[in-house]
Chains A and B, each alone.
Chain A
Amino acid sequence: MKHIVILSFMLLLGTSATAAAEKYQITIKNHRFTPAELTIPAGKKIRLQVWNQDPTPEEFESYTLNREKIIRGNSKAVIFIGPLKPGRYKYFGEFNQKTAQGVIIAK
C-alpha cells in the first residue's frame, strides 16, 4: 500500500513537472539584493537562485509570492517561483528589513 501511494505520487510528480524552468539569480551583499528589481516572464515558472555573499544569514521572504527560505551566510539556495500573473511582487530579507528590499516584476 505504502509503495503504491509513493509510486503513484512519483508518477504524478513526473507528469506535472514542467520543462526545465528558466534560471535567474539574485545576490545579497551588504544586506541588499541585486538586482533590486528583477523582471521575469509572466505565466511561467522560473528557478531563482539566491546567493548570499554576506557572512550573516538572511531569510528571503515574500508574502505575496508565498515563499520563505533561510539562506545561510556565504551560501546559495534555490526557490521556484510562479507561474505568476503580471504584476509587482515585493520581497524582503527578514533579518535585515531596513535595507534588504526587492521586487520581482512579472511581465
Chain B
Amino acid sequence: MWATTVIVFREILEAALVISLVVAATQGIPRRGRFVLFGILAGVAGAGLIALLAEPITAIADGMGQEIFNATILLLAVLMLTWHLVWMRKHSLQLSNQIKGMSTQLMQGEKSILVISVVIGLAILREGAEIILLLHGVAAAGTDSAQQMLGGLIGMVVGIGVGFAIYFGLVRIPVRHFFKVTGALILLLTAGLAAQAAAFLSQADILPALGNSIWDTSSILSEHSLPGQIVHSLTGYVSQPSGIQLIFYLGTLLTVGSLVRLVNRRPVRLPLSSAAALVLTASAMLGLAPVSQLHADNKIYSPYVEQGEFELEQRGHVTNKRKQKHKLEIGYGITSRWYSGIYGEWEKNPGGKLEYEATSWENIFQLTEQGKYWWDVGLYLEYEHAKAPSAANKIETKLLLEHPGAKFTHTANIILEREVGRNASNDTEFAFYWRTKYRWKKTLEPAIELYSKFGELGNTGNFDSQKHLLGPVLAGSVQIGDKSKIKYEFGYLVGLSDAAADSTWKWLLEFEMYF
C-alpha cells in the first residue's frame, strides 16, 4: 500500500510542479485559467483512456502464465522507474527553461494560448500513464487492490496538497532536496520490484533460486507485521530472501544508482582536461611516451564457465619499484555459458597510500563445449569505470583459448583494450598472454607465463617501449568440503623489455563455492 502512495505522490507532484510552473509563468495572460483547466481535464481523460485500455491488454497477457506475466510487468515497471530516475533531474531543468521561454513567446503573441493546455495536458497524461503502469507492477507484486486504492488516494491527496503549498509559497522546501529524498526512496523501491520479478522467475523455473533463504530475519521484522509491511513496500525488504532476489536487488541498486550519478554528473571543468592533454603531448614530444596505458593485469583467463558457481577472488602484484596493484572480485556463473562479476581495483605507488582506482564489470562467455575443438574458446568483455573524473573509462575484450591436454594445459589470451567516454584517447591497445601449465597434481601445477603488452595498435614502437614479462608460476586448488575449493597462483615475472618492471611478484587467491 505504501509503495503505491510513494509512486502516486511523486508522479502527482511532478505534474503539479509542471502546472505551477506554467501557471506562474503565464501570469497576466487573459483567460489563461480556462486553458489551464482544459489542459488538466484533457490530461486526466487521456490517462483514464490508457487505464481502460490497460485492462484488455492485461487479459490477453494472462494466457502466458501468471509468474512470467507478473515478472514482465514488474520488470517493465523497473525500466520505467529507472528511466524516470535517470532523466528526471535533467528533464525538470529543461522543462522549466522551456516553459519560461514559452511565456515570453506567448506574451509576444508568437504562440497560440492553446499551448498552455497542451503542455499541462501532456504532463498529466505522461504522469498518469506512468502511474497506471507502475500500479500494475505493484499489483503484480501482490498487494490487494483495496489497500492499493487507499494508498494511491493518500498519495494523490498529499501530492496535490504539497503541489498547492509549493505554488502558494506556503512551503519553501528546496525542490531539489525534495527530489533527492524521494529519488532515493524510488531507487530502493525499484530494486525491490526487481527482486520480486526475480522471485517470480525462479518460481517459474526460468532462473535458479540460488539458495531459498540466505538469511531469516522474520523473528526481528516479519513482513506480516505492519512495520514490516511498510519497510517491505518502501525498500523491498524481505525477511527470507533467496540468492537470486539478493542479486537482483543489489544489481538494480548498483546499476540504476550509478546510471543516475553518471547522467547527472556535472561536466568536468575544461582547464583540467586541457592541462592533462598538454602534459600528454609534451611527454610525447619529449619521447617519454608511449606510456603503456594497458590496464590488463597479470592474470590469464580460461574460457570456462560453471553455472551456479560463486567466486570470491583477491589478486594483485607488486613490482621491484614497490608499485602495488590489488583487485577484489565477486562473481557468479549465471548460466552454463555466462559468468559475470564485479571487481574493485586499488593501487599504491611507492610512498603513497593504497588508493581506490576503478570499478569493473567483467563477463566471460564460454563459446564452445569443453574439448570439442583443439582450442576451447571463450570471450571476455569488461567495462572499467575509473574513479577519478579525469581518467577515462575502458572497454576490454579478450579472446580466451585453452587446450586442456593430458599432461599440459595451454592457455592463450588475445587482448584488445579501448578507452571510452570523456578524456578517452583514440587508440586501441593490444596484448597477448600465454601460459603452459604442467599438470603434476591437482594441488600443485607449475607453469610458465608470458605477458606481452604491445601498446597502441598500429603504433607499437620498438620492443623496449613495450612491456614484456616472463616467469614461473605455481598454481593449484584445494578442496574444502563437498562444494567449495580454494585456488591459488603465485609467481615471479621478469621484465624482458626496458618499459617493464625488472621484477614483479604476482599472486591470486580464489574461493569458489557452488550454491
Could you tell me which A residues sit within 8 Å of B by CB distance? 1-2, 5-6, 9, 12-13, 16-17, 21, 45, 47, 57, 59, 63-70, 72, 77-82, 84-85, 94-97
Interface residue B72 (Cβ < 8 Å from any Cβ of A): no
Assembled-state Cα–Cα distance A84/B407 (Å): 12
The residue that B372 contacts in the complex, of A5, A80, A84, A96, with Cβ under 8 A, is A80
The residue that A67 contacts in the complex, of B306, B309, B333, B404, with Cβ under 8 A, is B404
Given contacts A57-B514, A77-B336, contact A67 B370 (CB under 8 A): yes
State whether B482 touches A94 (Cβ < 8 A).
Answer: yes
State whether A16 touches B373 (Cβ < 8 A).
Answer: yes
Q: Which of B362-402 contact A (CB under 8 A)?
A: 369-375, 377, 397, 399
- Choose among A2, A21, A77 the residue with the greatest number of B CB atoms under 10 Å from its CB: A2
Assembled-state Cα–Cα distance A13/B372 (Å): 10
Closest to A6 in B: B399
Given contacts A1-B457, A5-B399, contact A78 B409 (CB under 8 A): no
Interface residue B323 (Cβ < 8 Å from any Cβ of A): no
Interface residue B414 (Cβ < 8 Å from any Cβ of A): yes
Could you tell me which B residues sit within 8 Å of A by CB distance? 208, 304, 306-309, 333, 336, 369-375, 377, 397, 399, 404-406, 409, 414, 416, 428, 430, 439, 441-442, 457, 479, 482-483, 514
Residues of A within 8 Å of B482, CB to CB, are 94-97
Q: Summarize B's interface: helix, strand, loop or mixed.
A: loop
State whether A67 touches B371 (Cβ < 8 A).
Answer: yes
Residues of A within 8 Å of B399, CB to CB, are 5-6, 9
State whether A72 touches B414 (Cβ < 8 A).
Answer: no
State whether B457 touches A80 (Cβ < 8 A).
Answer: no
Residues of B within 8 Å of A79, CB to CB, are 369-371
State whether B307 touches A72 (Cβ < 8 A).
Answer: yes
State whether B308 touches A2 (Cβ < 8 A).
Answer: no
Assembled-state Cα–Cα distance A19/B163 (Å): 73
State whether B308 touches A57 (Cβ < 8 A).
Answer: yes
Closest to A2 in B: B416
Given contacts A5-B399, A6-B399, A64-B406, contact A70 B309 (CB under 8 A): yes
Assembled-state Cα–Cα distance A31/B269 (Å): 64
Closest to B408 in A: A66
Shortest Cβ gap from B400 to chain A (Å): 11
State whether B373 touches A78 (Cβ < 8 A).
Answer: no
Closest to A48 in B: B371
Residues of B within 8 Å of A1, CB to CB, are 416, 428, 430, 457
The residue that B370 contacts in the complex, of A57, A69, A94, A95, with Cβ under 8 A, is A69
A-B pairs, top 4 by smallest CB distance, nearest first, are A80-B371, A66-B404, A80-B372, A70-B306
State whether A70 touches B307 (Cβ < 8 A).
Answer: yes
State whether B373 touches A81 (Cβ < 8 A).
Answer: no
Closest to B458 in A: A1
13 examples of A-B residue contacts, CB within 8 angstroms: A1-B428, A6-B399, A9-B377, A9-B399, A13-B375, A47-B372, A63-B439, A69-B370, A70-B309, A77-B336, A79-B370, A80-B372, A97-B482
State whether A66 touches B514 (Cβ < 8 A).
Answer: no
Shortest Cβ gap from B18 to chain A (Å): 48
Assembled-state Cα–Cα distance A1/B414 (Å): 12
State whether A95 touches B483 (Cβ < 8 A).
Answer: yes
Residues of B within 8 Å of A97, CB to CB, are 482
